[in-house]
Amino acid sequence: MTNPTAAMLVIGDEILSGRTRDSNMHYLAGELTRIGIRLAEVRVVPDDSAAIVAGVNALRTAYDTVFTSGGIGPTHDDITADSIAAAFGVPISHRADAMALLAAHYDRQGLPFNEARQRMARIPEGARLIDNPVSIAPGFSLGNVHVMAGVPTIFQAMVASVLPGLTGGPPLLSQTLRVMRGEGEIAADFGALAAAFPELQMGSYPFSLNGAYGTNLVIRGTDPARLDAAMTRLCRLFA
Amino acid sequence: MTNPTAAMLVIGDEILSGRTRDSNMHYLAGELTRIGIRLAEVRVVPDDSAAIVAGVNALRTAYDTVFTSGGIGPTHDDITADSIAAAFGVPISHRADAMALLAAHYDRQGLPFNEARQRMARIPEGARLIDNPVSIAPGFSLGNVHVMAGVPTIFQAMVASVLPGLTGGPPLLSQTLRVMRGEGEIAADFGALAAAFPELQMGSYPFSLNGAYGTNLVIRGTDPARLDAAMTRLCRLFA
């Protein structure tokens, strides 16, 4: 049994210009790993329709599920919904259920439901809305693409809405052994161990602490018995 | 005069599994913006040769310069150098100058220059070495691709070695106005302003603070006079 794959398309000039540090990728990676979906690729593209269309079309054909973040607000630079519609070749318009949600929200707040705010009800034909408990304006799912806000609190709420509807695979387990030895010292034995367990992934991540070199040795896989067996041998080698 | 473009290929299972939060992308984005190079795309791929080859070949033909991070250490999972050689279709072997650098380094430390450590001297034919003042094992540049370590301190030192050799464009300037109004309230006027300055990029980034909505309005461009003119009008609208 293999794990389903996912990709993420981060849409945002603010990430590429260095103004903002993306945090959604790290959050999504952790959530997907937890439910046994393998995040296989992430792309970050600017607020540019051609780049979004090319990115989403490349990813949605290559992977089981795609998540996008960013560009679904009320301002002129929010072009994600239109770009997704273009990528799928479907029309986009103000949708009645999204309009109703937003109209009620702004009514409760005593704020005008103006043209800019109505823009957030523009949804490509055939999409399903993604609930936004934080600020109401919905995301949407079209085919295997889930289109979500870039603001981290809203992104996280939308991920929580979408994940229960996805089929995960066996849990992606990992175990880590931290050793105070440099990578060059453990490489031969660690490589031999990795070769003995081809169904597991083994990675080494060096660090330095107070001038001394250390390495985190990480073993990943889905078979708990094999993972334990490898970890036992790893500990015998280095711990 | 336009700005040169760059892309980044982040290589690492540890990022995609959610184990590690990437920080090199944000660092590189800031450094490139500072010297007038536009970071136009970032891709994150796993420790998989086919994925690295496909990523680097797509990016090096589409953009002026490509930076990679990760996978150039001594362990079995460090496959970046071989993958770059494969992407360019050139041989790779232990190079004499890199071997000499590393041999002297481990000799000074009183550590054996073993086979694993010698792996870090494997450099694709035709590459130029990138200096690594932190831990000696060099990165390399091949064509328009700069191959660097993933450990942030080393990545940053290698960026510092590479950037002076690149030709930047006019500075990518930005100014920000922070207003305590929601995006839906400022969208119409901000959009009209953006339309009046087509040579500038304008973006709005919402936040909430103590339950109130605010928006950062960012104007980016390379012409200081136009940027000032737009900022003056922006302040007149909202400040």
Query: Are the C-beta atoms of residues A55 and B42 closer than 8 Å to each other?
Result: no
Q: For position A1, what pLDDT does the model report?
A: 61
Q: Which residues of A touch B21 (CB under 8 A)?
A: 23, 26
Query: Residue A178 and residue A214: Cα distance in Å, rounded?
Result: 7
- Residue of chain B with shortest Cα separation from A59: B43
Two tokens, residue B107: 């000799």
On whether the CB atoms of residues A173 and A166 are closer than 8 A, the answer is no
Residues B239, B231: Cα–Cα separation, whole Å: 11
Task: Give the one of B14, B117, B202 whose C-beta lies nearest to A205's C-beta.
Answer: B14
Domains along chain A with CATH numbers: 5-165 (3.40.980.10), 173-238 (3.30.70)
The Cα B20–Cα B17 span in angstroms is 8
Please report the pLDDT score of residue A49 as a whole number: 98
Q: What percent of chain A has pLDDT over 70?
A: 100
Torsion of CA A132, A55, A65, B87, to 10 degrees: -140
Residues of chain A found within 8 Å of residue B163, distances taken between Cβ atoms:
none
Strand extents, DSSP E, B114-158 = 122-124, 128-130, 139-142, 145-148
| Residue B210 vs residues A88, B180, B207, B214: alpha-carbon distances, Å | 39, 11, 10, 10
What digits encode the pLDDT tens for the residues B180-203?
Answer: 999 999 999 999 999 999 999 999
* Inter-chain CB proximity A17 and B40 less than 8 Å: no
* Amino acid, res. B155: F
Minimum distance, in Å, between the CA of residue B193 and any CA atom of chain A: 10
Measure A140 CA to nearest chain B CA, in Å: 20
Q: How confident is the model at residue A228 (pLDDT cuts 50, 70, 90)?
A: very high
Beta bridge partners of A142: A145
For range A163-179, the mean pLDDT: 94
pLDDT attached to residue A83: 98
Mean pLDDT of the region B63-76: 97
Predicted complex ipTM exceeds 0.85? yes
- The closest CB to that of B26, out of A10, A18, A38, belongs to A18
CB within 8 Å: A16 and B40: yes
**Nearest CA-CA distance, residue B12 and chain A, Å:** 9
What does the mean pLDDT of chain A come to?
Answer: 96
Contact A75 B191 (CB under 8 A): yes
Lowest mean pLDDT across B37-46, B151-160, B206-215: B206-215
Residue B127 pLDDT > 80: yes
Selecting from A31, A75, A201 the residue whose C-beta is nearest the C-beta of B190 gives A75
Cβ–Cβ of B190/A220 closer than 8 Å? no
pLDDT at B95 over 90: yes
Placement of tokens 């040795």 in the chain: A217
Which of A25, A61, A106 should one mutate to test binding to chain B, selecting the residue with the greatest count of B CBs within 10 A? A25
- pLDDT-based confidence at residue A23 (cuts at 50, 70, 90): very high
Name the burial class of residue B108, with classes exposed (0-12), middle (13-18) and buried (19+) by CB atoms within 10 angstroms of its CB: exposed
Quote the pLDDT of residue B1: 61
Mean pLDDT of A225-233: 97
Q: How many CB atoms lie within 10 A of CB A26?
A: 16
Q: Which residue has the tokens 């996280």?
A: A156
Show Cβ contacts of residue B98 under 8 Å, excluding neighbours closer than 6 positions: B120, B121, B123, B129, B138
Task: Please state the separation of Cα B48 from the chain's center in Å.
Answer: 20
CA nearest neighbour of B140 among B217, B206, B84: B84
In terms of Cβ atoms closer than 10 Å to its own Cβ (0-12, 13-18, 19+), residue A78 is buried
Q: Which residues of A touch B110 (CB under 8 A)?
A: none
Q: What is the DSSP letter of A138?
A: -
Contact B29 A15 (CB under 8 A): yes
List chain B residues with CB under 8 Å of A172: 17
Is the CB of residue A59 less than 8 Å from the CB of residue A41? yes
The runs of H, that is alpha helices, within B120-173 are 152-162
**Could you report the per-residue pLDDT of B169-183, keeping only the tens digit for each?**
998 999 999 999 999
Task: Provide the H-helix boundaries in chain A.
Answer: 13-16, 24-34, 49-62, 80-88, 96-109, 115-119, 152-162, 183-196, 224-238
Residue range A99-130, pLDDT digits in tens: 999 999 999 999 999 999 999 999 999 999 99
What is the per-residue pLDDT for A204? 95
- Compute the average pLDDT of residues B74-88: 97
* Chain B interface disruption, residue of A20, A28, A42, most B CBs within 10 A: A42
Per residue in A195-217, pLDDT (tens digit) is 999 999 999 999 888 888 899 99
> With contacts defined as CB-CB under 8 Å, which chain A residues touch B187?
74-76, 114, 116-117, 119
CA distances from A58 to A9, A19, A45, B15, B210 (A): 10, 27, 13, 21, 40
Contact yes or no for A184 and B74 at CB 8 A? yes
Does B174 contact A46 at a Cβ distance shorter than 8 Å? no
Residues B3-61 pLDDT 10s: 999 999 999 999 999 999 999 999 999 999 999 999 999 999 999 999 999 999 999 99
Distance CA A205, CA B19 (A): 11
